[in-house]
């Protein structure tokens, strides 16, 4: 879908001298940037939700010593979340970038 929306941009880039590899790198960079921003935003929202849950009262007869939900604030979990976001967006950007690399600029410009 992203390639069809960006056909004109790809044609202009290729017509001005960008190679197929340059176009592929641009697509991958955009995907990784989206993954990084989304991963950081997700970690912040997740941390905020975890703090809210940590303050929620949790009283049960089975565990009389627990007053709130048991929450772990392990930084490794947040790092894993950001790395997973980057890996998934890399693959989501790599496949369209591979197709964008093969697009012929002349055919796109003639087709308009």
Residue 70 maps to a domain: yes
Determine, yes or no, domain membership for 9.
no
Distances (CA, A) of 99 to 2, 5, 51, 96, 105: 10, 13, 43, 5, 13
Class of residue 36 by CB neighbours under 10 A (exposed 0-12, middle 13-18, buried 19+): middle
pTM of structure: 0.76
Residue 58: domain span = 38-112
DSSP codes joined into one string, 38-98? HHHHHHHHHHHHHHHHHHSB---SS-TT--B------HHHHHHHHHHHHHHHHHHHHHHHH
Residue 30 domain-assigned? no
- What is the per-residue pLDDT across 9-68, written as a single tens digit (0 to 9) for each? 777 787 888 888 888 888 889 889 999 999 999 999 999 999 998 888 877 777 778 888
Summarised one tens digit per residue, pLDDT across range 59-71 is 777 777 888 888 8
**How many structural domains are present in the chain?**
1
């Amino acid at each position: 879908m992203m390639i069809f929306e960006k056909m004109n941009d790809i044609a202009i880039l290729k017509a001005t001298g960008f190679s197929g590899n340059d176009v592929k790198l641009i697509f991958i960079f955009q995907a990784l940037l989206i993954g990084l921003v989304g991963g950081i935003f997700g970690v912040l929202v997740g941390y905020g939700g975890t703090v809210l849950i940590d303050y929620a009262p949790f009283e049960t007869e089975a565990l009389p010593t627990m007053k709130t939900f048991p929450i772990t604030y392990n930084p490794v979990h947040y790092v894993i979340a950001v790395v997973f976001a980057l890996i998934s967006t890399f693959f989501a950007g790599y496949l369209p970038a591979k197709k964008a690399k093969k697009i012929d600029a002349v055919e796109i410009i003639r087709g308009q």
